[in-house]
Every structure is written in structure tokens, then in C-alpha cells.
Amino acid sequence: MKDAMLIIHFLGLGMGLGASFANMFFGIAGARMEPNEAKKFRLSSLVLSKMGQLGLLLLVVSGIFLMAPYWQILSSSPLLIAKLLLVAVLITMIVLIHRAGARAQAGDADAQIKKIQLMGKMALLTSLLIVFLAVLFFH
């Protein structure tokens, strides 16, 4: 069962980080477009967020299972505590990005796209930091 959960965990990681990196490159591409074209492009690319959200869900569900042997030592594991706190921060950012995306689709696109881009960069950095802490702790 642990191997299946590890596979699910890494699939979720690939989906989540893949969506973040793709959004970063979409942002670069959008910056080279005419403003109206870029706005349409960025609104269309919001659908990619669904993949990132599903990846995060897979990570959290499989992560809860994979954490079973570590709950007892959690209080003496600062790297693991930091990693779990950053996961909570990441979940919050993803929820905020999702809400901003809904507002952008509803008509407040320009302001919301700027928020999404900033939070997306922060989410990517947070995700990379989570991976870094996981490698340090589980190595």
C-alpha cells in the first residue's frame, strides 16, 4: 500500500508543480502579446489550475497516509513541521488563486490576473521549498 501511495504522491507532485511551471511560462508568453490578446490567453489558461488543484489533492490525501509513521516524532522534527506548515500556506494560496480566477472569469479580469500572477509565483516558490524540505527530512 505504501508503494501505491508513493506513486500517487509523486503523480500529484508532478501535476501540481507541472501546472505551476506551465503557468509561469504562460505568463512569459502572455507578456509578449497585445494586451487584449494576453487577457484572453491568460483567462483561457486558468483551466490549467484544475490540474494543479487535483495534484494538490492527491498530494494531501496520499501525504496523510504516508505521514502515519512520523506523527509520533513530529514535535521533535522541525524540518517536517516547516514542511507541513508550508503545505498549509500552499493550500491557502491555491484557494486564493481559485477565487481570483473565478472573479477574473466573472469580469474583473485585469486586477485578478495580476493577483493570480503574483500568488502563482509565490505558490511555485513555496512548492519548491516544500520539495526541498521533504528531501532534507526524508533523506
| 129: pLDDT strictly greater than 90 | yes
Give the per-residue pLDDT at 139: 86
Domain chopping of the chain, boundaries: 2-138
Q: What's the rounded Cα separation, in Å, for the pair 77 and 87?
A: 15
- Stretch 77-93: mean pLDDT: 96
The chain-wide mean pLDDT, for the chain, equals 93
Alpha carbon separation from 69 to 2, 3, 13, 72, 103 (Å, rounded): 11, 14, 21, 7, 41
Note the pTM of the prediction, 2 decimals.
0.90
Largest Cα–Cα distance of the chain, in whole Å?
55
Q: Answer whether 63's CB lies under 8 Å from 87's CB.
A: yes
Comparing 108 with 29, which gets the higher pLDDT? Answer: 29
Q: Answer whether 42's CB lies under 8 Å from 113's CB.
A: yes
- Stretch 20-43: mean pLDDT: 90
Give the per-residue pLDDT at 75: 94
